[in-house]
Structure 1
């Protein structure tokens, strides 16, 4: 089956096309064209814009569920709920936990990964457990240890090879050999929840690490004598910075500085969303910790520290445009192509490129979500 999308604007990876038509052929993108035959079936989104489906590479929960619930039902609910946020591909993200719990969660995600009806599971992200206590955030330090290839291999086996990304603290013992080994296996290593010095961070990058976990949050700050983790984020090239753009985790000014230092092509917008995403304010759990959700934030009850977010990725995109720190093209790219590229899944998602699965979103002129499509079929309408 073939139909043609008509819209005012199409956001491609390297250019934006004004007007014209994008063919959808058997659930895949064709090549944009300026005109169509008179008898063509046209889906008319005049006055609207077409962008790639968004890609969330760091998300713990949504719609009342958390990845660490170890529930197949919960993974399905997350997948379907995320369509309302413009996300069509995601990496279910774990928290620091026991070896057994992480093994069980990996197996559960693997058991449903190919069957979800909503946003596609393009891999698993292990956020931890190889962190350090000083910047533990909403993670349990009881489970924080030095990296172990033997442990990781068992998790990866349980996951059916689906772990695409793992985060650790550079100052842990054995990091260089661990990073070198798993990156050769095609796993992206991210650095965060860390009190590492600039030099410790650089050694981890030299070994193969390439992503910074939610830049600024959970990491040693920059000072003029010890540039720390934040200095490393700014200064080490060819690395990607995750960024939460809810306006609470990072100020608009700090976000702007990050984009200037890294370039918009090396900043990946993420949500770090927890189970209260898409839910009313109130009491929730993040892993083993009680959380209160109010005033647009999720905070640990005991300390008041931020505990993930309730951000929807479509709103993160809109925020950076509204703050005047990114164009619509840059914002959409950071939440789709750049995010996908940062974890090596840009070969399957994050762009309106010919022969890719037709996963896309329809936006109005103000970047508000109108509809979400998977494989060329409308699966959500605002």
Structure 2
């Protein structure tokens, strides 16, 4: 049955509206938006003290609820999709780690064959984080599998995934990176740059070949020096690229996050979590890929001598609240970065990321302090805080 949402504020693609009525049609799509003075006939669901935003889109997430994409188990992947509703996420990209060709191919097949069966947040594609990375900035990725980009290898994965790989991150200094980018980047596949010690010139060459993003900006990349701008300098200074940002307060200092958001604008910053299997789980010992990790005091770190950050336990609902609480973004910008820009940066904006007539009625209800109150999927309330 068609109904209308009445709320204090609506985050729409081109405007943020105070008050009004958003139609949800009987086929679970968004209908028309009516202003406050045009109250419609029919059922009205009242959120007059709350905000309505598009369902959040997590385009860089490895695990949740004790599970990891690399477990290669669809039942576990589906538990992650259900858990993501608690994070305000209604669409996501299961994200792989650096691994052998065959292991990655098996995971591509598993997701490609089953993605449409997910009962929670919708699997809109796959994000390949690696394996074409550089050892110096390996982070929590396993260096024994790192190698030069190979177009034929990518095509084999993409075939196994039934075309679902929509984003792949590579290190620009690897041999053949420019040629790989030129061959793979398209309106259906985003090439991002990360886990890299590349010079500014190497990063720029990949952007000119078609790369459109930077993977978790600042983290795992050559830093900004006034004479050697490096990867961070490229991420900040190149116009049309989208920069991922982990806003948990540990990966990036809030003032460094402000620099990216102010320089690039919300249209070119994608809030991500990089969450690993300990998301929504208690502190303790975990594994990321093949590497032992300890989760305590809000972070996940490798148990080796480096104690590198090993992904995060961040939920996207907390990332949007954090940037507002830190005074580095408005509520409108926070929502845009975690929905529209995230989807755009990963070539899935045609499926999610905005409230628009005819789109699936996936949306969230926020308190005015940006705390998640409720998550709707296909017009049905699926999670209440």
**Residue segments in structure 2 that go unaligned for 5+ positions in a row:** none
Q: Which residue of 2 aligns with 1:223?
A: 225
In structure 1, how many angstroms separate the alpha carbons of the residues matched to 2:29 and 2:341? 21
Q: Note closer, same or farther for the CA distance 1:185–1:262 as it changes in structure 2 (3 Å cut).
A: closer
Report the Cα offset of residue 208 of structure 1. 0.2
| Contact preservation (8 Å) 2:187, 2:347 | no
User: Does the alignment pair 1:291 with 2:293?
Assistant: yes
Q: Which residue of 2 aligns with 1:276?
A: 278
Q: Which residue of 1 aligns with 2:365?
A: 362
Q: Which residue of 2 aligns with 1:352?
A: 355
| Contact preservation (8 Å) 2:193, 2:215 | yes
In structure 2, how many angstroms separate the alpha carbons of the residues matched to 1:195 and 1:140? 16
Write out the 4+ residue segments of structure 1 that deviate beyond 4 Å after TM superposition.
none
Q: Which residue of 1 aligns with 2:15?
A: 15
In structure 2, how many angstroms separate the alpha carbons of the residues matched to 1:185 and 1:295? 40
| Contact preservation (8 Å) 2:10, 2:53 | yes
Q: Which residue of 2 aligns with 1:86?
A: 88
In structure 2, how many angstroms separate the alpha carbons of the residues matched to 1:264 and 1:186? 22
Question: SS of the residue aligned with 2:308?
Answer: coil
In structure 2, how many angstroms separate the alpha carbons of the residues matched to 1:337 and 1:322? 21
Q: Which residue of 2 aligns with 1:308?
A: 311
Report the Cα offset of residue 141 of structure 1. 0.7
In structure 1, how many angstroms separate the alpha carbons of the residues matched to 2:186 and 2:118? 29
In structure 2, how many angstroms separate the alpha carbons of the residues matched to 1:346 and 1:172? 29
In structure 2, how many angstroms separate the alpha carbons of the residues matched to 1:6 and 1:235? 41
Q: Which residue of 2 aligns with 1:202?
A: 204
Question: SS of the residue aligned with 2:90?
Answer: strand
Question: SS of the residue aligned with 2:342?
Answer: helix
Q: Note closer, same or farther for the CA distance 1:37–1:193 as it changes in structure 2 (3 Å cut).
A: closer
- Kindly report the root-mean-square deviation, in angstroms, between the aligned alpha carbons of the 2 structures: 0.9
In structure 2, how many angstroms separate the alpha carbons of the residues matched to 1:187 and 1:37? 41
Question: SS of the residue aligned with 1:10?
Answer: strand
Q: TM-score, normalised by structure 1?
A: 0.98
In structure 1, how many angstroms separate the alpha carbons of the residues matched to 2:6 and 2:187? 42
Q: Which residue of 2 aligns with 1:377?
A: 380
> What is the aligned counterpart of 2:182 among 165, 171, 180?
180
Question: SS of the residue aligned with 2:149?
Answer: coil
Report the Cα offset of residue 185 of structure 1. 7.0
Q: Which residue of 2 aligns with 1:28?
A: 29
In structure 2, how many angstroms separate the alpha carbons of the residues matched to 1:71 and 1:216? 32
**What do residues 314-372 of structure 1 show as CA deviations (whole Å, max 9, x unaligned)?**
00000000000100000000000011111121111111111110000011111111110
Question: SS of the residue aligned with 2:99?
Answer: coil
Which structure 2 residues correspond to residues 1-382 of structure 1 after superposition, within 5 A?
1-25=1-25, 26-34=27-35, 35-38=38-41, 40-184=42-186, 186-302=188-304, 303-382=306-385
